[in-house]
Amino acid sequence: MDYSSYQHLLVERQDKVLRVTLNRPEVLNAVNARLHYELSHIWDDVMYDDEVDVVVLTGAGRAFSAGGDFPWLLEGLKTRTVGKLSSYEAKRVVFNLLDCEKPVICRMNGDAIGLGATLALCCDMVIAADTARIGDPHVRAGLVAGDGGAVLWPQLIGYVRAKYYLMTGDLIEAKDAVEMGLINKAVPEAELDAAIDKLAGKLVGGATKAIRWTKVSANIALKQLAHSVFDAGIAYELMTQVADDHAEAVHSFVEKRKPNFTGS
């Protein structure tokens, strides 16, 4: 499989393990239009790569992903094109990852925010550096958490707790995320690679078909739920993309000031 066309994903293979790295470290791996497109396609290529049994998804630099790229969102406010371009892709980003039969381990090397959190939680297992945080602060950007958060979080930590974090946008320390069942493990940063290698090796050395199809079976109910919720969630998110509060959030971020939300 040739991965050379990817611009913002660094793809490296070692034996049967493929490492896919979000590679925009200068902006904390924030997702722009090109990276969003690539994330909607990479899992098809991974599925057809016969040399790969296990995938590790991680971020370059000090973050896993800071979520949506604000310059991209700002451009969307000017051209009103972000929603039209990304709604179909948003579904593919999530569903292609859930549909990928090969086990995917999230190496959460740093903060996983917004869409970054969705990517992490769509993985089958999440091992984080204990200095990392995870959260879905869409509401702080004046947006509905429609691109996966409203589906994934309640299934992992329950509705009451999930709604608290989705509606406040508060971030969660890795060790607390482990305690509430949001992620699997939090280890010292210096031990993260060893923990990932150990888990990947365990999966590679296991019964590959049994592992893959156990994942497929476990994801059936989750995908059914996601299909029933996702279109509405994306529609609500697109509605908030053209609302005044989202414009205020984007402009305040660019101008480095506190947003003044008006509920409009």
DSSP 78-115: HHS-HHHHHHHHHHHHHHHHHH--S-EEEEE-SEEETH
Percent helix, strand, coil in the chain (nearest 5)?
A: 55, 15, 30
How confident is the model at residue 85, as a pLDDT? 52
Q: How far apart are CA 132 and CA 209, in angstroms?
A: 33
Whole-model pTM?
0.95
CATH architecture of the domain 9-191 equals Alpha-Beta Complex (3.90)
Query: CA 215 to CA 98: how far, in whole Å?
Result: 9
φ and ψ at 257, to 5 degrees? -140, 170
pLDDT the model gives residue 121: 98
Pair 184, 107: CB distance under 8 Å = no
Pairing of strands 104-108, 125-129: parallel
| Whole-number Å distance between alpha carbons of 43 and 104 | 10
CA dihedral over 11, 118, 194, 200, signed as positive or negative? negative
- Please give the pLDDT value at position 253: 85
pLDDT less than 50: residues of the chain: none
**Residue that the structure tokens 């969660």 belong to:** 172
Structure tokens, 207? 């019964």
